[in-house]
Structure 1
Amino acid sequence: MIDTTIFEKQLELDIPSDLGIYYSGKRINTKNHVYGPEIRNHYLFVLVNNGNACLYGEKNIFLKPHDLLVMFPGQRIHYKASGLWSIQWVGVYGNGADRLTEKLGVTRKFPVMNVHCYREVETALESIYASAGDLTLSGKLNSLSLLYEFFSILFQNANSDQQDDIVQSAIKIIRYNYSQQITVSSIANSLHLNSAYFSRLFASKTGISPKQFILSLRLERAKELLQQQAIPVAEVSRSAGFSDQLYFSRLFRQKIGLSPSQFRNLQKESPQR
């Protein structure tokens, strides 16, 4: 019986290269598809467009839309989909594939990565598939360039995750140390980053600069401490990370609209209203 849900084009690049394509293909709405167990002698990158499946192994992994499964050479792969299953794939060979896969952080033990820039990866794989019919030297070179574009997009995806981790680490550093005399430079240094780059990255992920984030936390802490009537304003200032009480009072009025003392008195009067 002919499977009408599978489409594949053969493409063997004999151009000298440390990275090449064996084939490219896709499945569209195959019902309850079962793959393997099977072992290939090359890399196979599989993008899940639609559907869910269970990847069997030492620890079962559930595949969902926008996941990318990397099948390694010599690795036994067995998965079973439930319902309609749509995927795209590209078979890759060469020493470059080893290096690039390693740099992506995908391993035989953890062969699945979630793709945030899904549309870009989907389009790249579709372009590789569309170009596979051109077996001229020009066409083969075009297919190879599309493969490099595919990897470029995957690295953008991986770098996005790394940037999120960096920003989350910075936020933790600030939350634990805002009462100390920390600076944007000291935070960047602890993360081994250039201060200007760190500031741009932090702002792009949070919407505010690191300096604004630090000031915001300090002011929130000051407001909490001011509600405790027994703590002098000077002590509140120091405890919240402000070494200059005059600067603290001026900034507090500018941001909150009241002086620290006025804010405290207002909090004291509130329960009686």
Structure 2
Amino acid sequence: MDESTTMVDQEGIRDGFAGQRMLVIPRSTAEKALRHPVTGKLLVTDAGYFPHAARHGRSRPRGASQHILLVCTDGEGWCRSEGAEFTVSRGGVVLLPADRPHAYGAAKADPWTLWWFHFTGADAADLVRTAHSAAGGRVTHLRDPAPLASLVSQVIDALESGLTTSSLTRASGAAWHAIAQVIATGRRNPGPTLNPLERAVDHLRATTPHRTSVTALASMVGLSASQLTALFRDHLGVSPLQFQVNLRMTRARELLDGSDLPIAAVAREAGFDDPMYFSRQFTRVHGMTPSAYRNRPIGT
């Protein structure tokens, strides 16, 4: 896929950004997924997150073989498509159709933070055309890009979980939701938005048990990592990382109470790779082991 090749900016500098995430599914996997009744309609082939992507740029004189969605959550960049060039700043969403010449890149003074994915499938072109019609062009302006960035993050999470039919289907669902959100926004002014802390909490609740770095979470809501950490501590009494641990512990209690899964499976479902570490953390928080919690008398 296109993003699997090394990206080079206009001055020949290789891309690579501290904290970045990028997934590219193998071509053979994509070809098989396109024959599936669900992922054949909308398939994500590449996805990523580039924070403060200084000197980032792509130029495709013949276009890309997939459609591309770009979401800017901070800084500024530019895009050129169909003979027009426009600025993309925080809240800018660009949908580039497949096989059409285009170029884009980060501004030098204040480089953008970008969430993106490439997609194809039987319904992909219709979704792109509908989004362009709703927005009146290639770019949609969102007052609050955090919910859309959250959906792109969910696409990345799904692909990171393994290239199974289930994970590719989850990625397709999140991508469809993201594009539908762009279509629904159109040219209308969005309604009242949540504050940055509320948006961050919403994302963490929606993506439990997946972990989101403080840097990535802060970029979604337009804050620095230190500003977001201060908000969490001032209003919730915990750091963003501890808040995520608490959410995973809540999920673990739900599974211990409502399922017969082995403790190791509960740990995995709650987002803990190491069952022993999970058991220690659970005991520290609850004062009893997971097994003791499951076997406690009813009503306690």
TM range (shorter): 0.5 to 0.7
1:46 paired to 2:70 = yes
**Aligned AA (2:104):** Y
1:9 pairs with one of 9, 18, 23: 23
Deviation at 1:106, TM superposition (A): 4.7
1:32–1:85 CA contact under 8 A, matched in 2: no
| Cα distance change on mapping 1:51 and 1:141 into 2, 3 Å | same
| Cα distance change on mapping 1:18 and 1:27 into 2, 3 Å | same
2:43–2:168 CA contact under 8 A, matched in 1: no
| 3-state SS in 1 of match to 2:169 | helix
**Aligned AA (2:77):** A
2:106 pairs with one of 46, 60, 81: 81
- CA distance in structure 2 between the partners assigned to 1:140 and 1:54 by the alignment: 30
Q: Which residue of 2 aligns with 1:233?
A: none
If you compute each CA radius of gyration, which structure gives the higher value, 1 or 2? 1
1:129 paired to 2:152 = no
| Cα distance change on mapping 1:124 and 1:19 into 2, 3 Å | same
1:116–1:157 CA contact under 8 A, matched in 2: no
- CA distance in structure 1 between the partners assigned to 2:119 and 2:164 by the alignment: 19
1:23 paired to 2:46 = yes
| 3-state SS in 2 of match to 1:149 | helix
2:130 pairs with one of 100, 103, 123: 103
The structure with more helix, counted as a fraction of residues: 1
| Cα distance change on mapping 1:98 and 1:129 into 2, 3 Å | same
| Cα distance change on mapping 1:135 and 1:117 into 2, 3 Å | same
Q: Which residue of 1 aligns with 2:96?
A: 71
Greater alpha carbon shift after TM alignment, 30-39 vs 63-72: 30-39
> How large is the Cα RMSD of the aligned pairs?
2.8
Q: Which residue of 1 aligns with 2:235?
A: none
1:40–1:74 CA contact under 8 A, matched in 2: yes
1:68–1:112 CA contact under 8 A, matched in 2: yes
Runs of 5+ in structure 1 lacking a partner?
164-273
Per the normalisation by structure 1, the TM-score is 0.53
Report how many aligned residue pairs link the two structures: 163
Deviation at 1:161, TM superposition (A): 5.0
2:74–2:113 CA contact under 8 A, matched in 1: yes
**Aligned AA (2:47):** S
| 3-state SS in 1 of match to 2:76 | strand
The structure with more strand, counted as a fraction of residues: 1
Runs of 5+ in structure 2 lacking a partner?
1-12, 192-300
| Cα distance change on mapping 1:162 and 1:65 into 2, 3 Å | closer
Encode CA deviations 1:84-141: one digit per residue, 9 max, x unaligned: 221011111123111112222359x931111244221010000101110222222222
- CA distance in structure 1 between the partners assigned to 2:142 and 2:48 by the alignment: 19
Deviation at 1:45, TM superposition (A): 0.4
- CA distance in structure 1 between the partners assigned to 2:133 and 2:71 by the alignment: 14
- CA distance in structure 2 between the partners assigned to 1:89 and 1:127 by the alignment: 11
- CA distance in structure 2 between the partners assigned to 1:74 and 1:115 by the alignment: 26
Q: Which residue of 2 aligns with 1:94?
A: 121
Deviation at 1:22, TM superposition (A): 0.9
Aligned residue runs from structure 1 range 210-229, under 5 A: none
| Cα distance change on mapping 1:153 and 1:135 into 2, 3 Å | same
Q: Which residue of 2 aligns with 1:147?
A: 175
- CA distance in structure 1 between the partners assigned to 2:92 and 2:118 by the alignment: 17
| Cα distance change on mapping 1:31 and 1:162 into 2, 3 Å | closer
- CA distance in structure 1 between the partners assigned to 2:176 and 2:104 by the alignment: 28
Deviation at 1:77, TM superposition (A): 1.2
